[in-house]
Amino acid sequence: MAYVMDHLLGRGLTFTVIPHPKTPTASGEAHALHIAEGLVAKTIVIVAGDAAALMVIPASRKLDMVLAAEAVGAPAARLATERELQERFPDFELGALPPLSTLLSAPAYVDPAVVERDEIVFAAGRQDVSIRMTTAALFASEPAGVLPLTIESMAASVS
């Protein structure tokens, strides 16, 4: 958690730290915080060859692997295993990766449903602490590609 807060503070960002009961998923995080799942962003790691990439989607949605693979330009992209996550990100609990590409040294791709929100809530590296801040401030300081990563966003982009 300290890594995440130090990273955000180092970028001059304003945020709120929200402790809550331990939850291993973004959906559980939303329930623990008594907010809609769509307001919580979950960070999913995919692997393409030796490279990892962060996929940031609303907790209420499921990552579409075809769209994720297209985002990274690797048809053979797959979800990272728990072991790979522990090896690549040893300072972070499973299920609690923040959407911070510069901190995690991995490119980030963000679903439009996330950036459309005024505020974002996300795990702070531990399963019992979240961060709340403005979405615009977060993604102004974190490089990320914005493109549909869920079926719902893909459907919205073609209508």
What is the average pLDDT across 17-39? 88
Identify the CA nearest to 137 among candidates 39, 3, 14: 14
Reading the block at residue 71, the tokens are: 């985002």
Residue 159: the pLDDT is 65
Q: Is the pLDDT assigned to residue 34 strictly greater than 90?
A: no
Residue that is written with structure tokens 């499921």 in the block: 62
User: Considering the entire predicted model, what is its pTM?
Assistant: 0.94
Residue 90: the pLDDT is 95
Q: Identify residue 11 by its one-letter amino acid code.
A: R
Residue 130: the pLDDT is 96
Strands 51-58 and 40-48: antiparallel
Reading the block at residue 34, the tokens are: 């008594």
Identify the CA nearest to 121 among candidates 32, 7, 3: 32
- Start-to-end CA distance of the chain, whole Å, equals 40
Q: What is the CA radius of gyration of the chain?
A: 14
CA atoms within 13 A on the CB side of 40: 29
Q: Across-strand partners of 21?
A: none
Q: Classify residue 158 as exposed, middle or buried by CB count within 10 Å of its CB (0-12, 13-18, 19+).
A: exposed
Residue 29: the pLDDT is 86
Q: Is the pLDDT assigned to residue 1 strictly greater than 60?
A: no
- Average pLDDT of the chain is 93
Q: Is the pLDDT assigned to residue 131 strictly greater than 80?
A: yes
Q: Is the pLDDT assigned to residue 42 strictly greater than 60?
A: yes
Q: Is the pLDDT assigned to residue 9 strictly greater than 90?
A: yes
H helix runs in the chain, sequence order = 2-10, 26-33, 65-72, 82-88, 101-104, 112-115, 135-141, 151-158
